[in-house]
Chains A and B, each alone.
Chain A
């Protein structure tokens, strides 16, 4: 069983984390059809 991904839902939070941790942001646009 793979590790559960901890998705962010706020772009502001993701950007702040990315800046602090010097990482990239991976944004997944999805659609619950």
Chain B
């Protein structure tokens, strides 16, 4: 974890200024942000180790995506799909992989291909619903 993140723990009851600043209402809340303070991902609740790790990788991938580092973002999303395909973060990773490929190539077929994988591997996911519109791509 320390390879990719600077970890900081905040006591919810003793740091009301930070709680208010980040709009935290429940614990545990994990927030991933960069040195400039831009937030990239957050999740709440206790997760099993595999889901927790997958969420951290997803957060890193979203940060890379937001910084236009599409190659690094793709690596993160692919890592989730290879190592943690059953994690709850995996359908979002698949969705974002298609979007990231599209952003890098400007080829809309990547979005449609992403939808096909979502329909095959995660048919009941909200991310498959969100990608449904890409079926209209010729």
In the bound complex, do residue A9 and residue B12 qualify as a contact, i.e. CB atoms below 8 Å apart?
Answer: no
Give the residues in chain B near A28, CB-CB below 8 Å. Answer: 7-10, 28-30
Give the residues in chain B near A1, CB-CB below 8 Å. Answer: none
Top 4 nearest A-B pairs by Cβ distance?
A: A26-B5, A31-B27, A19-B35, A18-B35
Q: Is B117 an interface residue (CB 8 A)?
A: no
Within 8 A of B (CB), among A1-30: 5-11, 14-19, 21, 23-30
Interface residues on B, range: 20 to 34
In the bound complex, do residue A7 and residue B9 qualify as a contact, i.e. CB atoms below 8 Å apart?
Answer: yes
A interface residues, how many (CB within 8 angstroms): 24
Q: Return the CB mask of B47-70 against A: 1 if under 8 Å, else 0.
A: 000000000100110010000000
Q: What would 8 more interface pairs be, CB under 8 Å, given A9-B8, A24-B33, A27-B9?
A: A9-B10, A14-B6, A24-B5, A24-B32, A27-B10, A28-B29, A29-B28, A29-B31
A28's nearest neighbour on chain B, judged by CB, is: B9
Q: Which of A6, A17, A30 contacts B27 (CB 8 A)?
A: A30
